[in-house]
Structures are given as C-alpha cells and as structure tokens.
Structure 1
C-alpha cells in the first residue's frame, strides 16, 4: 500500500473521540466567573486585613481621644455620690446612652498586656474588637465598662443588620454584577471562537480538508486560526499532489511496462541473435525510462512536499551560466548552444541556492534540446530588481494559450509517446517550484529565434545564509 493510500485509509477510519466533560458556554462562564470573583474577594479580604492591622493603632488612639470626655463625665457623676449608690447611678445613666454602661471588678477582666498596662496606668483601654472601652475609676479596683452598642437602643440595629454590613453587602453585590457583565462580554466571543475552531478541527478530522476556520473575533485566537487554516491548506495540497502523482505515475508506467512485456515475449520466441540483441537494447532503454520517471517523480514530490530551506550564496552569474551549459552540452550533440551575458554588468553577483537552482536550469536546457532544430541560446538581463535568465530555442514554439499549462506536472503538449520528445511533463513543474522557493517565477513566451522562450526570474539580492 502506498503512503497516499495509507494516509487515506487512516483518515477514512478516523472517528472523532467524544468530548468528555465538554464545556457549555454557561459552564465556562460560571467557572471563569467563580475563579475571578473568588480571587477578587480573597485579595480584597487580605487587603482589608492588612489595612485594618496597619491602622488599628491609629483607630484605637482616635477612639480613646473621642470617648475620653464622655468617660470622664461619667466618672465625675459617679464620684459625686457614695459608692453604695454607684450601681443605681450607672443603671440610670445606662438608660440614657446608646451603648451599655456597667461597673466590674478589675480581677474579672482579661486584657492583652499592652491594654492592661494602659488600664492600670489610668488611661483608656480598648478590647481587641475595638467596640468596648475600659477605664479605671481613679485608684479604686472598680472598672467602668463602656460598650458595646446596644441593639435595643440603636435604631440602625433594630432592623437585624448593622448599617455598615448592609452597605458592604450592597457594594459587593454591585461589584459582583458588574464583574459578571464584564466576564460575560469577554467569555462569549472567546467561546464562539473556540466553538468555531472545534467545528473546523472536527471537520478536518473527518477528512473534509476544504474546511477553514472563520475570522476570529478575539485577537488571541487569530494566529491560531491562521495556523490551523495553513495546516489544512497544506494537507489538502499534499493529498491532492499525492493523488495526482499516483494517478500520473500509474499512467506513465503503463507504456514502458507494456513495451518490456512485449519485448520479453518476443525475446522468448526469437532464435536470431541480432534480433535478441535489439530486444535487449529496447528493454534496457525501457528500464532507463522507468528509472528516469521514478527519479523525476521523487524530485517533484520532494520539492512539492518539503519546501526545503534555501541556503543562499552569492554567485557570479555569468560563469555560473557557462558552467550549467557546459554540463549539458554533450546532450545537445549537433545543436549550437550559445551563452550571451553581454547585457549584464561585469562580475555581477546574485543570490541563489547552489543545490536547487541547477535543477531548474538543467530542466529548461533539457526541454530546449528536445525541441530545438539547430540552435539554443541562453541569455540574462536585469529587469528592475530581478535577474532574468532566458533559454531560447528555434523549435516549434508554444501556443499562447498553452504557455501557463506547461508548468503543471505531467503536462505534455506533444501527442507522441516516442522516446525522443515524450518526457514525463515534470521538468518545467520542478523549475517553477524551485523559482517559487527563491521568491521568483518561471514562465514561457516566444523566443526571438522563432521557437519557445523559457524564463527564470528571481530577486537579485536576498537574505544570504551559510550552507
């Protein structure tokens, strides 16, 4: 089984796995909302704790100064009367204040060391919650306790919830609603983009390689969608190329294989040594044709599939063209091959890949040798920022309507299948692939010699990397 058939078989048998725990939009929203809101509340509580701890001393000092006058007035009112009347006096005063008043013995209190020291030193002491004040009544063991606020006497507490707590709850509710709106506005387009990409990936997994991800509403998924579409395009192109190669190669193999089978049958039946030698030469020629077809097909598939990285180098173009022509001059036999670089500046250097560009040049020269009658001319010129190399022949030429089609793989304009001009229709396709990798193009036209002109065009200067 060929690599293409294996790939198609795998894709045909592929079944998308069920999405376990698939998130719906509401679930994604609530999970993200709870995460954000929980983090926000945790940060707010921590910040409140830090701030409260930092300002506690300041708050306690402010409370002491604020309540000192009231406490001293209550103390003076008590000392105007005998100590036996203090309970009745404090009870009468207690009914006039919003916070609770009482007198206790010093030994009944358990305060932090710092507050106990203040209390014994005649200053106001405050409990850990900051809502009860303690004051020692002069040098007696009696302690005046002021607070906490009595719910029965304060109208704000009669509703069952302190005002500051109600304000806090209302504030947090408004923050929660605003945050929910913001999270929804952020999550909804993200979910739509994720769902669109999921549908595209699922279609690709089912073998629908024409599927493409739509334009993403979220900029975060734009590059991912472009990458996915690029991958789908490349897979679609590779599969199409493999199908085309498989069909074309299968078709091209029939002729030499049929001739080999016919020659074998004839060889088995003949007893003439000369005829046997002729059939053997035919079979050897067919084997060479098969070898050439396979080599050309592999070269085309490699350039089409891998898009190999270019290793550009600066090359003096005139000697390089002479070298390419000399390497193939023997195949031209009686043909006249000329190289004309007079239109180029002296010692002009251009950037090209020394490994791949000879493929393009050799294929153009081989094509010209097939169709030229007496003469082939290779010339070069500068057009704008491009270097253009022309290969002209004096053959039959190419009709204008067919000049683009000849660069399609396995396309041959001649209808003959003989070995002189048959070819495989891959040389020009390989030449165009090489030039596209160089950022240029290969195209056909009419030659001044009367036949066909094939032109390789690519930028004079590119980023040069070491090979």
Structure 2
C-alpha cells in the first residue's frame, strides 16, 4: 500500500510540474518580443536644468561608432540602450533627418532588486507537495489499515470492529468489510457446531442401527441385510468425509511437514487395506526413503483416493510413491472406467455425477484431497492410468529435502 501511495504522490507532482512548465512555454511563445524602455520620471525631474531643459543631445551620426549589428538596428529606427560606466545608461535613436542621432543620458537607474527565483520555485513546489500529501495520505492510511485487517482476518477469522473514522473516504468500504466479517464468523461457528452435531448425534443412532441389524439379521432376507449394511456404511463414510472437510476447510489442524519414512508410511497403509485383498488386489510400492509431508493429512488424502478407487475398480488398485528431481508423487490407479472429461467437476465440493444412480461419487472426497495437496503447496492431477487403463489420481508437490539432494 505504501508503494501505491508513493507512486500516486510522484505522479501528482510530475503532473503539476508538467502543467506549470507547459503554461510557461505557452506564455513565452505568445509574449511580445518588441523591446520597450521605461525611464524613471524622478530621474528626469532631478536632472532638470534651466539652461538645458532636457538631457537630450543631438550629435552627428558619424560621431558615434557602433558595432555593425547595433548600427543596423539603429538605422532601422530601433532605440538602443547602452550602459557606459557604472549605473549610467544612455539611449540612442536616429533623428528624422537620418544624419543625426538623439542621445538621452545619462540616466541613473537604481540597481535591480535581487529576487531568488530558485527559492520561490522551491517554496511553491513544497507547498504543492504538502497540499497533495494532506489530501491523499489519509486515504492510503485507512486503506493500509483495512489491508492489514483483511490479512489478519484471513489468518484467523474473527469479528472486526469498525476502526475507520466516519468522515473517511473509504468508510463505506470499511463498514461493508466489517459487516461481512461478522457474517463469515457466524457462518464458520455454525459450520463447526454442525460438525459437532454430526459427530455426536448422527454416529450414535448409526451405531444403534448397526447393533439392531446384527440382532435381526437371522430373521430377514440376506439381500436386505446386506443392503442395510451398505447404507449404514455409506452414511458413516459421508459423516467421516464431512468431518474431515470441516476440519480442513477451517484449518483446525495445523500441518506438520517434517521428514518421514516412506517404508513405515506405506506399510501402515498396506495393513489397513489388507482385508480387501481377497476381493481386490491392492498393491503398494514406492521409490525413495524420505519425504516431507504431514502424515495425518496425507493419510486422509490417500484413504480418500483408495476408497474412491475401490468403488469403481474391477480387480486392480495400485498405490505408488515416486520421487524425481525434488518432486514427490503419490498416485492411486485403478482398472475401472475412469472419468475423462469430468475432472474439474469432480474436484468441486459436494459435486456429484448426475448419471450415477448409486451413492458413490468423487465430489467431497476429491475436494478434501485437493485441499490437502494445496496445503502441501502442490496439486491434484487427474488422468487415465497407462498401466491399468482406469483412473489415475496423483498428489504432486515439491520436497525441500529431496530438492537439496544432488
């Protein structure tokens, strides 16, 4: 904000200087270039003599020796003013008979008053600068305070009080910003309360439903029991995704991007999904030993990618990690139908595919993964798997440790 203020201030000064210089040039261009002489009346009266009523003399033209340029001006009828010695000034003019010259003098002129033009111009421009500073500085000061408040609000949302004076030029903007901050904080608080409600009020009835289902399972059709179990699993998964979304959206958990071992991380992930091996062949492999990432957030991201792949994969799912030239890549690939042409839509929060008749979808899960990738200063890349032919989802980010490794 200070840079914009200095830039505008310099622009105003240059503009005013250009305007003043332009008017000066125009005034000089249209000014009358003819010479005129003004003689002090007091000087003529003080030199009056009865014998010589005036101090005008008439001399022969040949008696006066002048340079060629002055001689030419004199013959053309111009009046010449020449200073002989000291402060005595003589005026010469060609007489009507062209053979004599009229000489007026000596005329003693007072010394010119010394005027320091530089100081006058300096004072003028200084005054102009102070006026411009007085006019524009309050606006930029208030804008700077509003900018700092916006930055602080982005880091930690809280209701901002009105600190801008009512007579400020940006008072309407500051008032709207303060009102919006109150609305956003209220919305965030409502969102947090809704998350807590889902955590406590939804999961408890789901647990009771699952317990009741297990009791009556022998008495109902196995297909209905399987369908109810899948529905309960979907609701629990949606609740878990929403809680993860709420925590990540409002940054309740700070990322801890330290160096972590890929061996331990991939082994833990493989153990979690070992129970699915009879149905799906989930393969885990990696290249590299260490990488910088937050294990909790990255675990959530990889689990979302694997769960999405499990909904559409036929037999194979590959989970891999690669490290090349300081760039890390966590990829999850499957042999399902893929999702070409739907990448941007699928990464939008709560966006679902209208053509899907079941409860599966990539919307919220991929949005969480994208959020985690962004917090690692990376990106989520969607493409077709070259190995398996289905979908390929990769979290890509730069690693500070590997970037230093030759």
TM-score normalised by L of structure 2:
0.49
> Would you tell me which structure has more helix in proportion to its own residues?
1
